[in-house]
Structure 1
Amino acid sequence: MVADAPLRLSDTNACVDAVIERVGKNITLGLPLGLGKPVRFVNALYQRAKDDPSINLHIVTALSLLAPRGSSSLEKRFMGPFAERLYGRIPELAYARDVSANRLPDNVKVSEFFFKAGSFLNNVDQQRNYVCTNYTHAVRDLMALGVNVIGQMIAPGDGSGQVSLSSNPDLSLDLLPLMREREAEGTPVAVIGELNENLPFMGQHAAIAETSFDVLLEHQPSDYPLFSAPQMAVSPADHLIGFYASTLLRDGGTLQVGIGSLGAALVHSTIMRHKQNDDWNAVFDRLRVADRFPVATEDGGTEPFREGLYGCSEMMVDGFYYLLDAGVLTRVVYDHAGLQTLINQGDISQQVSLDTLDVLRREKLIDSPMRARDVRWLTRFGIFRDTVEFKGGRLRVGEQSLDADLDNADSREAIRTLALGDRLTGGVVMHGGFYVGPESFYQALRDLSDEDRQRICMTSVNYINHLYDHAFGTQRLKAAQRVHSRFINSAMMYTLSGAAVSDGLDDGRVVSGVGGQYNFVAMAHELPDARSILTLRSTRQSGGEAVSNIVFSYGHCTIPRHLRDIVVTEYGIADLRGQPDEQVYLRLIRIADSRFQQDLLKQAQKAGKVAPDFTLPADWCNNTPDAVRQAVTRTGDEELFPAFPFGRDFTDEELTLGKALQTLKAATSTRRGKLVTLWQALREKDEDGRYAALLQRMGLENPRGLKARLDRRLVIHGLRKLDTPSDTGSKET
């Protein structure tokens, strides 16, 4: 069983020794998703397994983060300095790099239930070892795989005996008790916490006792910065998707959103709606959203967020901090279903008064005369001041003794003046399961005031992703908190019948993972007034050609068609819930790229899903990239939809080079394109030194060797294409 105090060690090898002493050499190591991996401990354990073939190590986790390196020589030249700047002081996950390079030793296996999108499409071992599971079932499946060691990076406390799971209480809060049950049944286990001063201390559910751990690894001089996810550019198409999604948000509602540029675009437009409402409404009117997509006015809104939003998202993306800072994330929820229901109904407000007590009594949440349990409950939510006690059947406030009878006029006045608080307390505006983001986001979390920190509750993913959860609450509580929920997630493709493709390909290869998407989509159909919103770009580039992401059919799906709801592309909103198949097909064709609409219609008509005499209305047929660019630039303010709405990690030079490399990549996506590009590049020179600084950034100012000289000419060619009006006019930034 766990000791009264954890073993405190400063040496990673001693920590590995302690683990082997406890559980032996057959180790199944469970690690948190994303940020919370204890890199020093994991690297030491992995190195020990590499050195000792008698150790059998199975690592079970998700989203093992690595600094980008690039594949081609040009990408490596571009990414090298950038990665050094962002990640140079962060120790690399050694097993993850070896997984990427296909060089794991025979006695080590790595299984993940969520990949960084597209990272292992061609990695046979990882495709074979992938564990397909809903996020809410991950703890169950970890236990089924025989996990006997848990390792996690944690934030140190203030000496009070608590530490914080901070970035990753998502699975750990549910996993740790099960590990102790396994231990009580006779299976040795080890729970390792690696302290890191750079990890923000998050309270609420994330704060747990040090004694939850068997070993604490603590060596402050080797504490490393947190792995950051750099801010990515938001394209015009992304911005329009985010804008359309922001029209579907209901003031006083609930928001879940995922990572990436589509999430950033949504957050940006949501803040614009709140703080620049006239500008936002001008775009709303120009796009004719109300006329073309009535669901926006039926289920969404156009006004600023006076009641505010409440965040409930498995991933607390940095966007939630921006919403908090902008005054949007302000709707407070409480962990009592009865109290929350009364707030929702408007029967009580945040302001405390004697009426508050009368309503609570009417609803039988308290008694009169009040008892000790009533006083504790009222104090917990700030209805009574924390100086109020219950002794001898009376209320005690300092030296004052008050009658606890709410029917007594004198008692009521005394309670009003001496016992009542000012406002409800103890509520939160955000429930999150894990977080990953840019360094500026981590610093913002470290700098939070105590009050704002307490309004964020990092907690179990089962609380967030699932309505039925015995550990933290009931369906009634969650339903009361999650009014007007908007669960916004992204998809790769969408079929005309209403199925979403988000995690894999039809040849069986896994792109990323199901994660929590299925849970949120299903929850949207179970909660009153909730909507599932799946966002996707209407097209992608494949082999140098544009390909539609809205397809007639596909041989794999993540979300089945019977859970179809709302779909958003840069061309608008398709409200599919409760619609017959013909309307579903047509509404999706309406928001497809016009280059593919006619073919999609023909396939639908051939299948008998759309009437054979239907023709595309004229106002459906302007779904083009040029129309998207015009929509975000005809605003009267060029910065209304900026490429980097929340800052950026790339320098100006890197942005220019990145665009040039993207241009080259697109131009060389076919065999013919490669030959043409190479032939053109061979004639390129920078005789006037126009690109000298950019070439120096790529380490190509004085190239040596044939390959380096060719790389220099390719970069010049890519930069020159950016400067050519006919090219720049055809590209999205």
Structure 2
Amino acid sequence: MATDTGRRSDDVEACVDAVIDRVGKTITLGLPLGLGKPIRFVNALYQRAKDDPEIQLHIVTALSLLAPRGGSSLEKRFLTPFTDRLYGRIPELAYARDVSGNRLPDNVQVSEFFFKAGNYLNNKSQQRHYVCSNYTHAVRDLMAQGVNVVAQMVAPGELADREGMVSLSCNPDLTLDLIPELRAREEQGTPVALVAETNRNLPWMDRHGAVEESAFDVVFEQPSTDYPLFSAPEMAISPEDHLIGFYASALLKDGGTLQVGIGSLGAALVHSAILRHKDNEHWRAVYDHLRIAERFPVAATDGGTGPFDQGLYGCSEMMVDGFLYLMQAGILKREVFDHAELQTLINRGELSEQVTLESLDLLRREQLIDSPMRARDVAWLVRLGILRDTVEFRGGRLLVGSESVDGNLDDPQAREAIESLALGSRLKGGVTMHGGFYVGPESFYRALRDLSDERRDQICMTSVNFINHLYDHRFGNQRLKVAQRLHSRFVNSTMMYTLGGAAVSDGLADGRVVSGVGGQYNFVAMAHELPGARSIVTLRATRQSGGKAVSNIVFNYAHCTIPRHLRDIVITEYGIADLRGQSDEQVYLRLIRIADSRFQPGLLKQAQKAGKVAADFRLPADWCDNTPEAVRAAIAAGGDADVFPAFPFGRDFTDEELTLGKALKTLKAATATRRGKLWTLLQAVRARDHDNRFASLLERMGLAQPSGLRAKLDQRLVIYGLQLNDTPTDTGNPEA
């Protein structure tokens, strides 16, 4: 039987009715980026709009996640069992599937400010309706679109101390700022609706992520239909990715701050940071083999080579699963506090985590507390752990159980009593990770659900404006953020980089959008504003296009995401280019130095023709070994094949799927040109599995007993692809 208590209902159709009753049939729906979309409510509202053309529905969001289906028949055969296994119990986001198939009804429009990379390159509707926005401006731009409904998946507060609360969990990033904006709009006479959909599979996150349930007008709660969370599988880390991550790990400063994004390059950095911390001997062997300190002095001046004794603090719009691995490895442990003066004392080494009477004296000297202590002093000190939880302030004195203690720090007897009865043991309440949103593999969600209360309290999911912006006024001022973000390293990937110093991360020269700006510009700009901070842009030196290797370091390009005046540090698998404060000639040369050697002469020639490099400059011999073979030699310098594994953090693909995925990737590369396609088909027709060594793999593809010409050709193609890779047990990159 359906229940409806006004705000809360277990009938999703009743929730849709409630929203329409509040705002009418013209609905601009704001949805969280990525994981936090309330799929049951959104699907019901979207279906209502499809059934009722009078409803005008505009969905404004980012990163609408869908299970991959594949394009070719081989890709579908490969992906279908995999997606059924990972996503079979998760309802599909109906509007996103219709967007993908260009099937939106005329009365529905979808605008996104960030695409899953490459998904909508050939989708004209989405290209037209894309909203180009920095992440910090997303709330402003959502409001400009006329958002009158916001809906989000939340974790219900089921424990006694969470009664009446819900957690924004994976997506407080925009919602924390949207709620007051919408309420202000409501006060001005515009009807609005805030909708929460509970899901008990969503990890509970406290601090800023926990809000009153009453903040929402409609709450849909139907535990019997709670679904698993959409997961992003771990991707294989190639040798090139590992080396990029290794160079980046050499730029991390112990006691510093880290921001890093999703993907294999971010995972590679996390793996190398853990290697540096826990297996420093193997890490140093690679460092010395690459002669990093000699060839790239910025690593010596701005980085480090030892374990992370002080630890790192994470401050990243996206809390990737790598941050949890860093926490488990004992690296993500530097705590920051929400008080600028206190944090400054900690930074200077004057206040340690171990509490003593001198801690109170220091705070008094800095005029942060009074003597005798007052009620507000005691409350603050208890919250920090400097005084015990049992200490209260009553009648001008400290009450500890049945004992009453004078709070006068100038009185020797009072000091003795405070030390023995009231003083805490160590600072508490610090945060080691500020994140705006998260998405990752199922193992990540499970680990978040299983966190101890102490570990969970060290993570603060919060507004993206707190993280991405120095001047946000809601959760912290500039002075506080500067004090917290020591030695910041903002690590972001890009697609291409120009010799002039511009990053091409979100779009193509023809105007099409690949993904979005997101927070990349925010972090790059912040690196130039924070003392001691560096922006690190990572990219692979080459990519495959039309069956050929193409350089990702280019002379110029007709689109840029990060302008050249914000150039800082760039890393490829061939090294580190420190560009900050350098002349154009040095910028051009340092980028050519880390380009693939197949393309260095051409890049140099273009630079010289443009007058940016002296005409008599010649490539030094030690620049000209930037080859795939050199990458593999550097990886081998670790001395152990397991030092740089393809999947250091687990995987969702089976051994068979890894082997098949590599074979399909090989076929895709081989058929990138018309000539290659004809040659591959000719060879595939002749291919046979004479000794049945591929029998289980063909069974996995549903091609053990093919029926029909298409299936028989698919079988031969798979056999040929496996033969090209030489072994049925190779565990390479599964991307097909």
Q: Same fold (TM over 0.5)?
A: yes
Compared with structure 1, are the counterparts of its residues 457 and 730 closer, same or farther at alpha carbon in structure 2 (3 Å cutoff)? closer
Contact 2:177 2:463 in 1 (8 A): yes
Report if the CA contact (8 A) 2:494-2:537 is conserved: yes
* Corresponding residue of 2:539: 536
One of 189, 211, 216 as aligned partner of 2:214: 211
- Whole-Å separation in 2 of the counterparts to 1:292 and 1:545: 30
TM-score, reference length from structure 1: 0.98
Distance in 1 between residues matched to 2:93 and 2:259, nearest whole Å: 30
Q: Which residue of 2 aligns with 1:410?
A: 413
Contact 2:87–2:230, Cα closer than 8 Å, also in 1:
yes
Unpaired segments of 5 or more residues in structure 1? Answer: none
1:633 to 1:701, Cα distance in 2 relative to 1, 3 A: same
Give the 3 Å change call, closer, same or farther, for CA 730–198 of structure 1 in structure 2: closer
Return the alpha-carbon distance in structure 2 between the equivalents of residues 350 and 6 of structure 1: 48
Distance (whole Å) between structure 2 residues aligned to residue 64 and residue 119 of structure 1: 10
Structure-2 residue corresponding to 1:638: 641
Tell me, in whole angstroms, the C-alpha distance in 1 between the residues paired with 2:499 and 2:435: 33
CA deviation after TM superposition for structure 1 residue 395, in Å: 1.5
Alignment partner, residue 568 of structure 1: 571
Partner of 1:167: 170
**Counterpart residue number, 1:554:** 557
One-letter amino acid of the counterpart of residue 267, structure 1:
V
| Whole-angstrom CA distance in 2 between matches of 1:698 and 1:11 | 41
Q: 1:261 to 1:333 in 2, by over 3 A?
A: same
CA drift of 1:688 comes to: 2.2
TM-score (norm 2): 0.98
| Cα 1:429–1:730 shift into 2, 3 Å | closer
Question: Does the CA contact (< 8 Å) of 1:244 and 1:568 recur in 2?
Answer: yes
Given that residues 722 and 728 in structure 1 are in contact (C-alpha distance below 8 angstroms), is that contact kept between their aligned partners in structure 2?
Answer: no
The equivalent residue for 2:34 is 34
Deviations along 1:541-590, one digit per CA (max 9) or x if unpaired, are: 11011110000101111000110000000000000001111110000000
User: For 1:682, what is the secondary structure of its paired residue?
Assistant: helix
Letter in 2 for 1:171: L
Q: Tell me how far apart the structure 1 counterparts of residues 172 and 28 of structure 2 sit (CA, whole Å).
A: 20
CA separation in 1, counterparts of 2:247 and 2:354? 35
Shift of 1:724: 7.7
Displacement of 1:373 after TM fit?
Answer: 1.3
Matches of residues 658-669 of structure 1 in structure 2 within 5 Å? 658-669=661-672
Give the equivalent residue in structure 2 for 1:430.
433
Instruction: Tell me if structure 1 keeps the 8 A contact 2:662–2:732.
Output: no
Task: List per-residue Cα deviations over 1:430-475 (Å, max 9, x = no partner).
Answer: 0000000000000000000000000000000000000001100100
Give % identity: 76
1:364-392 deviations in Å (ceiling 9; x for gaps): 11111211111111111111112212222
Tell me the amino acid that sits aligned with residue 137 of structure 2: H
**AA of the residue aligned to 1:615:** R
Matched, 1:303 2:306: yes
Q: 2: distance between equivalents of 1:617 and 1:164? A: 57
1:346 lines up with 2:341 in the alignment: no
Displacement, 1:635?
Answer: 2.5
Structure 2 residue 133 is the aligned partner of structure 1 residue 133: yes
Aligned to 1:574, the other structure's residue is in SS state strand
Whichever residue aligns with residue 533 of structure 1, its letter is: I
**Aligned length in residues:** 728
1:639-678 matched pairs, under 5 angstroms: 639-678=642-681
Q: Does 1:231 align with 2:234?
A: yes
Contact 1:6 1:210 in 2 (8 A): no
Matched AA of 2:509: D
Q: Which of 507, 511, 515 matches 1:508?
A: 511
Change over 3 Å in CA distance of 1:643–1:724 after alignment to 2: closer
Per-residue CA deviation, residues 53-90 of structure 1 (Å, 9 max, x unaligned), is 11000000000000000000100000000000000000
Aligned amino acid, residue 102 of structure 1: N
| Other structure's SS at 1:389 match | strand
Q: Which amino acid aligns with 2:144?
A: A
Offset at residue 626 of structure 1 (A):
1.4
Instruction: Verify the 8 A CA contact 1:235 1:732 in the aligned structure 2.
Output: no
Q: Deviations over 1:462-489 (max 9, x none)?
A: 0000000110010000000000000000
Contact 1:247 1:300 in 2 (8 A): yes
**688-697 or 29-38, which deviates more:** 688-697
1:17-43 deviation digits (Å, cap 9, x = unpaired): 111111110000000000000000000
Aligned positions of 1:260-299 closer than 5 A? 260-299=263-302
Q: Give runs of aligned pairs for residues 359-398 of structure 1, distance below 5 A.
A: 359-398=362-401
Give the distance between the partners of 1:732 and 1:459, measured in 2 at CA. Answer: 33
Q: Deviation per CA, 1:126-171: give whole Å up to 9, x if none.
A: 0000000000000000011010111100001025111100000000
- How far the C-alpha of 1:732 sits from its partner, in A, is 12
Name the CA distance, whole Å, in 2 between partners of 1:524 and 1:46: 41
> Which residue type is aligned with residue 692 of structure 1?
A
Equivalent of 2:490 in 473, 487, 491: 487
Tell me the distance in 1 between the aligned counterparts of 2:214 and 2:412. 50
CA distance in structure 2 between the partners assigned to 1:723 and 1:365 by the alignment: 69
Whether the 8 Å contact between 2:282 and 2:639 is mirrored in structure 1 is no
Distance 2:392 2:682 in 1: 85
1:585-596 equivalences under 5 Å are: 585-596=588-599
2-side partners of 1:395 and 1:713: how far apart?
Answer: 82
Q: Is the Cα–Cα contact under 8 Å of residues 58 and 108 in structure 2 kept in the other structure?
A: yes
CA distance in 1, matches of 2:145, 2:734: 48
- Aligned amino acid, residue 258 of structure 2: L
Q: Structure 1 514/728 Cα, relative in aligned 2: closer, same or farther at 3 Å? A: closer
Q: Structure 1 residues 6 and 627 mapped into 2: Cα distance closer, same or farther (>3 Å)?
A: farther
Task: Give the conservation status (yes or no) of the 8 Å contact 1:255–1:311.
Answer: yes
Alignment partner, residue 400 of structure 1: 403
Correspondences of 1:231-270 after superposition (within 5 Å): 231-270=234-273
Matching residue's letter, 1:138: A
The Cα shift of 1:297 comes to: 0.8
Q: Distance in 2 between matches of 1:283 and 1:631?
A: 6
Q: Residues of 2 paired with 1:41 and 1:71: CA distance?
A: 29
Letter in 2 for 1:49: A
What is the identity, as a one-letter code, of the residue corresponding to 2:618?
A: T
Residue type at the aligned position of 1:23: V
> Which residue of the partner structure matches residue 82 of structure 1?
82
| CA deviation after TM superposition for structure 1 residue 730, in Å | 14
Equivalent residue of 1:416, what SS? helix
Structure-1 separation of matches of 2:32 and 2:727: 48
- 1:262-285 Cα offsets, whole Å, 9 max, x none, are 000000000000000111111100
- Which residue is 1:146 aligned to? 146
Deviation string 1:187-216 (CA, Å, 9 cap, x unpaired) is: 111111000000000001000001011111
RMSD: 1.6
Secondary structure of 1:660 counterpart: helix
- C-alpha separation in 2, matches of 1:248 and 1:411: 49
SS in 1 for 2:657: helix
Q: How far is the alpha carbon of 1:419 from its aligned partner? A: 1.1
Q: Look up the match of 2:693.
A: 690
| Aligned residue number for residue 327 of structure 1 | 330
The match for 1:443 among 438, 442, 446 is 446
- In structure 1, distance between residues paired with 2:693 and 2:382: 70
Q: C-alpha distance in 2, partners of 1:294/1:355?
A: 41
Counterpart AA for 2:18? A
1:687 positional shift: 2.6
Contact 1:236 1:732 in 2 (8 A): no
- Residue in structure 1 matched with residue 22 of structure 2 by the alignment: 22
Are residues 1:616 and 2:619 paired? yes
The offset of 1:95, in angstroms, is 0.3
Distance 1:731 1:73, change over 3 A: closer
2:12 touches 2:40 (CA, 8 Å); kept in 1? yes
8 Å Cα contact 1:149-1:191 kept in structure 2: yes
C-alpha displacement of 1:518: 0.3
Residues 720-731 of structure 1 mapped to structure 2, 5 A cutoff: 720-723=723-726
Distance 2:732 2:154 in 1: 49
Paired residues of 2:659 and 2:734 also in contact (CA < 8 A): no
Instruction: Return the alpha-carbon distance in structure 2 between the equivalents of residues 311 and 728 of structure 1.
Output: 32
Distance in structure 2 (CA, Å) of the matches to 1:687 and 1:489 = 48
Write the distance in 2 (CA, Å) between the matches of 1:102 and 1:722. Answer: 37
Residue type of the alignment partner of 2:724 = K
Higher deviation after alignment, 361-370 or 317-326: 361-370
